[in-house]
Amino acid sequence: MRWKTRKVRGNLRFGEAPRKRLNLDWVPGALKWLFQIAIVCFIAFVAVWYFGQRISAVGDSMNPVLENGDVVLVNRIVYDATSPKRGDIVVFRPNGNENLHAYIKRIIGLPGETVRIEDDVIYIDGEPLDESEYEVTGHTDAGLASEEITLAGDEFFVLGDNRENSDDSRIADIGNVKRSDIEGKAWFVVSPWERFGFLS
């Protein structure tokens, strides 16, 4: 090792080791790497939180599109950008009761509309509803909708696709579903494998 010398009073010389410089060239690369990891973790969190909530269908009220025990993913962000539409399959808790299991039903009536069911026919604002885009089964018992129901500006009328075996807006315990009680749109079946795919 080479030693530097310096003069300190008179002719005395003392050895001095060269000073080592701290190499910080790696810091920008490490910070960039940590930033990229943080971005990936954030995207993963958003994807799971908003698109990956899993719930299980309870009962057969949504037959044939869903069966008891089917596991579906819920899109929690879609209704932040758009309003729920007729025909959407939504997840909600009746009256916002967090102690109840989540219900999965199809939107039939929209805010401000009137709904009435007579002789197995659903009338929206006095006009028969066309349900040809999805399959329903069973007789549509009128329940509360035997008399015309007017939906408030934040309310939806929902039914199960299996009309003879569904607790939905036709019964007093559920009734009209408020927008604030809708948790999201059921959009994808992840289990069982034979029904794996998008919901319609």
**Coil, helix or strand for 78?**
helix
Tokens for 123? 């009338």
* Set 4, 7, 20, 61: catalytic member: 61
> Judging by DSSP bridges, how do beta strands 182-191 and 197-198 pair with one another?
antiparallel
* Set 4, 105, 180, 185: catalytic member: 105
Can you tell me the distance from the alpha carbon of 182 to that of 85, in angstroms, rounded to the nearest whole number?
A: 12
Between CA 171 and CA 125, with CA 115 as vertex, the angle to 5 degrees is 180
**Is there a catalytic annotation at residue 185?**
no
Whether the link from the prior residue into 192 is cis, omega within 30° of 0, is yes
**Is there a catalytic annotation at residue 61?**
yes
Instruction: Provide the 8-state DSSP code for 146.
Output: G
End-to-end CA distance of the chain: 77
Q: Where are the beta strands (DSSP E) in 33-160?
A: 53-56, 71-75, 89-92, 103-109, 114-118, 121-124, 127-128, 149-150, 155-159
Q: Which residues are catalytic?
A: 61, 105
